[in-house]
Structure 1
């Protein structure tokens, strides 16, 4: 009986969306667009580090291609640049402003909701697709990242696109769709490197289990998809490797001017082990919180993703149980393998990685959580006559209400937590007895339960969207920026990641005769340089890169630039990175400047004129 019920809920590949569902989908997408676009400009430059790179890309094609921090191509950001390509092209078309940089991120959010809804619909029906899309839209981490300009927005869109292609590939054992999934993941790599590959085990397993073709052909198709991943990701690596180092910017985040080192070291396995040369407080296990299975349920991570995470895990277990006797090619079980594998692998990596990790990374879990919740909610409802199904459905709502109660606490909107708990428990009881209700009464219970299910996460998502966010480490919820609190407490690292906001007098000074110099100024740390550059609209060299620990420029290189008259000012006193590894060239440069050039104070900033002598 369970297998037949599962089959009935699946949607044949050729079945179009029924017209009656199109208005609901339109309302979902329109509502998502309003949520992600409304008041978007209030966040200003958001992450100025990436906004400055987008500005540079709008002025220089080389800077756009390499992801340079400045248009004079001194040093790149510490990521592969696919997300910057989108922002830089938008800035070229519409000018450099907050809207041209942030609107593409919001549109990626709308696209992700649409693609997720379409993907879930193919295996579980339109209702499940709509619920999944709604859950994704109302996930706080998603609202945070789709209203911000970190690479995560593009990463999520490409991962969901990859999942859609895998589902299509599983339907008819299509190597073409599987190859397209590989292309999506490859470009996801160009957005955020190895993180994009965390979904590959789930994608491969889903196809290996469910594709309606022989094992040999399944393996051959997977090999072809792997090749497409390597080509889509690798072409850029090859170009950078073959490009003469002297005519391109220094690869930020590396100690050897190597993109390979950046991929496999600082932004790769170093994130797992904690051994990241040149990182903030570099060294194994320093400063990034306790690891373990409870990590996602504490601090700021909980506020971003934990609301429906227990329900998603319950949904995964229930779905696998109800499809345990289904044929190998069953589409519903293949979807569970795909989304469940995505969720488990990514969650485990985030839970146990010892290196740099930020709460907003959890947005990568949101599509899998949403897909599992949407699929289970609708399919268990259709199977509610079965006592186990009605019990699981009731238990999932009660578990979600309890999770929301614990996350909300009493510090923010104190009335909300008990309301959600009581409403959730009442809905859970009603759902258990739903098989005995009239059709109209049962429909009311289902709708009410969905509202209760999404109240906690929805309220926190609205608070996230209503709050301006800036800096390098934004947090979901009513408090903005790194250092803001989320349910469960917790604070981010210190002021290293803040962005400068120069005053009018200093901005005018930087703009004066800026065209005569390659860089109107230089300063230690990329975030400091970004603020000066965005204000002056002239290139500012980020000495030492993001953390001030990259060996670019060397003292000798900087001295040569100064002797050639290529840098007008040096701003600030430099800074020492206690406990960090990597190069100390930036601090040496700051000390050399202080010893050889006269200084003045403009708008509270120490300014050294590198064209004068003391």
Structure 2
């Protein structure tokens, strides 16, 4: 017992406690988390069919747009604890804490206890880690799995264990079944480290590498190949895919399209809702099979694919290589036109930076280029300690020779081979969200810990030019921290940025002065320098708690993440849509982008008083106030009791309470009431899940008779389906079925209408 106690590092305990607070405090206040994924968990709890395929709706008709492994874990937690926001967030919060532990145990054997402590502290306080881990988005679990695979790789290489090597590659395959190609960002580091560190003759080494790669491929493709081999009419439609294929989804929509920024699904846009007719087709002669499988003559898929509150992404409506399509402004809207009379804010291009680079600018990801990670839009997420990490790597590799490659050199190269390809991707990618930058957190944290200790040793021992890198790293990192924070002085005050800058400059100067002297204060000064460098990231890591978070598109920062325009520079707490330059004429547009709009930057008079979702955070949630969601993807997050009672009272034995063209309308009824609801078109409403023939069969067989149409505007989806519902259904007067006298929630496209089809 005493030996066990001695093994517990007393410094690690408060670091883990800090990580637990940052990742878990207040998650019980998030009722729905990312409602897209929580809705899927609610549907997966119903039966094994829905569970295996990660079905979005109760009918098992369409999947979410990611593989199922993380949702299987969330479903298990929901099964044990009940379906709540906190129960589906909890696995990710625990994964965030686990990542801190793994970094500690991976760094300690090679670089020492001090380096492990610093690395763990750095990992715990990377702001984007805290922001993502307190949501039910996939990335926190993804990073934990990649780190676990890396730990097995380190152990396997050190002991020459082929089984550990195979387990390492198998875990990367498992990570692929969490978020597809994003998991492969680590492969350059894996292969490089294996070739450098695995102790075995070259023949055995190559054979083992072939075996590891085979395990990687087999595990990666296991679910995808299984699902794709099942006939399309016996499984759900693969949500957000173009060809109803998991493999196409993996390598297209969730793969190369991230790099190019050209989301194929974007051409479905809002063309029908806005009259653009971008991907229209006369479907009169198309068979049901063709529609289901998304062939060349596919349905008019007019759902709002550009929804700012996408589960993990939003489509770029461009098909011309510059973020534009057929005269549109990158949104699916015809140039100069916006829904319900909304005018494009002055100088704002929804495709971001005049259409270049897809959706980059729109989601606060800055301009492409080698310094993108240092731009204001992204730097606050994971870049704070990059100067220290890079300077530390210089010291760590300074003594490397061809015949003298130590374990420290090998592991340093591993972390750099993780960092550089990921950083390069984010520097040039056409489309991603800020929270994807969690992929940078492990290598930055590990290199910061190992590198800072190496710089300290060089400074203490006065090793020539390397001795100067410690004060230089303190200076550059604190100056960079000032640069990040000063952009938010109006929100947080200038004291934070100026305080860090002044303290960093002072400590750097003292370290320089004391360089050639032997003094007992050197080590306390070095520690103080590191603590000063943490002022910014620690503050930012707490912002999801202090300023409110965004479960749909999480990001750290004192303005929160607001989904459409990214997480920076929008002012206020949990700001909703606050367009720059006054925001144009908002009259008539009710985009439901509220939240707690304290300090919203739109000018007075731009937004009419009482606009649903645009007022204060206490607005009637049945009118689409979206607390903490930051985008239209989390609308309607509350059951309308009038609607629920009407549908239950008038149910005459139908299997499903209702079907809807907008999953947001289904979400609260599935999550809160455990009702069976059909979503007709997946996330965007535009996936060709149903044909009119299938709808007719559903009605005739007595499975459903009520259909909600509208809500998220173009998210109404396939116009053929919508027209069939309107043609064969009877509109139910709003006064009978909803507490909203205007007739259902008002979104981009106006009111929701309920039809009874018999």
TM exceeding 0.5: yes
Instruction: Tell me whether 35-44 or 92-101 shows the greater mean CA deviation.
Output: 35-44
- How far does residue 434 in structure 1 lie from its aligned partner after superposition? 5.1
Aligned to 2:317: 282
CA, structure 1 residues 512+122, in 2 after alignment: closer, same or farther (shift >3 Å)?
farther
Q: 2:184 aligns with which of 176, 197, 200?
A: 197
* Mapped partners of 1:34, 1:325: distance in 2: 44
Please tell me whether residue 411 in structure 1 is matched to residue 490 in structure 2: yes
Larger CA deviation: 274-283 vs 249-258: 274-283
Distance 1:435 1:512 in 2: 81
Distance in 2, matches of 1:17 and 1:487, equals 46
Deviations 1:104-139 (Å, cap 9, x if unpaired)?
111111111101111111221121111111111101
Q: For residue 569 of structure 1, what is the aligned residue in structure 2?
A: 706
**Is 1:214 aligned with 2:214?**
no
Aligned partners of 1:507 and 1:535 also within 8 Å: no
* Larger deviation, residues 460-469 vs 441-450: 460-469
Of residues 84, 88, 100, the one that matches 2:87 is 100
Mapped to 2, the partners of 1:439 and 1:179 lie a distance apart of 50
Cα deviation, residue 21, structure 1: 6.1
The 8 Å contact of residues 82 and 191 in structure 1, kept in 2 or not, is answered as yes
Counterpart in the other structure of 1:375: 450
Whether contact under 8 Å (2:53, 2:63) holds in the other structure is: yes
Q: Do residues 163 (structure 1) and 150 (structure 2) align?
A: yes
* Aligned position for 2:300: none
Counterpart in the other structure of 1:361: 436
Measured after TM superposition, the shift of residue 528 of structure 1 is 4.2
Residues 22 and 541 in structure 2, CA contact (< 8 A), matched pair in contact too: no
User: 1:380-406: CA deviations, max 9, x gaps?
Assistant: 212222132331111111111111111
Structure 2 regions of 5+ residues with no counterpart? 267-314, 324-350, 352-358, 361-366, 580-590, 592-630, 745-750
| 1:463 to partner: Cα distance | 1.4
Q: How does 1:216-365 map to 2 (within 5 A)?
A: 216-279=203-266, 280-283=315-318, 284-286=321-323, 287=351, 288-289=359-360, 290-320=367-397, 322-325=398-401, 327-354=403-430, 356-365=431-440
- SS in structure 1 of the partner of residue 696 of structure 2: helix
Query: What residue in structure 1 maps to residue 310 of structure 2?
Result: none
SS of alignment partner, residue 571 of structure 1: strand
Shift of 1:72: 2.2
SS in 1 for 2:554: coil
CA distance in 2, matches of 1:72, 1:329: 58
1:497 paired residue among 633, 641, 646: 633
Shift of 1:489: 6.1
Moved more, 119-128 or 194-203: 119-128
- Are 2:662 and 2:684, in contact at CA under 8 Å, matched by a contact in 1? yes
Is 1:339–1:368's contact at 8 Å kept on the other side of the alignment? yes
Of 248-257 and 326-335, deviating more is: 326-335
In structure 1, what is the equivalent of residue 511 of structure 2?
431
In the comparison of the two structures, how many residue pairs are matched? 591
Out of 505, 520, 533, the position equivalent to 2:657 is 520
Secondary structure (helix, strand or coil) at the match of 1:522 reads strand
* Greater share of helix: 1
CA contact (8 A) 1:407 1:488 kept: no
| Gapped regions of structure 1 (runs ≥ 5) | 1-15, 579-583
Q: What is the CA deviation profile of residues 585-608 of structure 1, one whole-angstrom value per residue up to 9, with x for unaligned ones?
A: 623322332343213321331565
State the Cα distance separating 1:312 from its structure 2 match.
2.2
Q: In 2, Cα distance between the equivalents of 1:508 and 1:382?
A: 70
2:717 matched to 1:588?
A: no
How far apart are the structure 1 equivalents of 2:404 and 2:657?
64
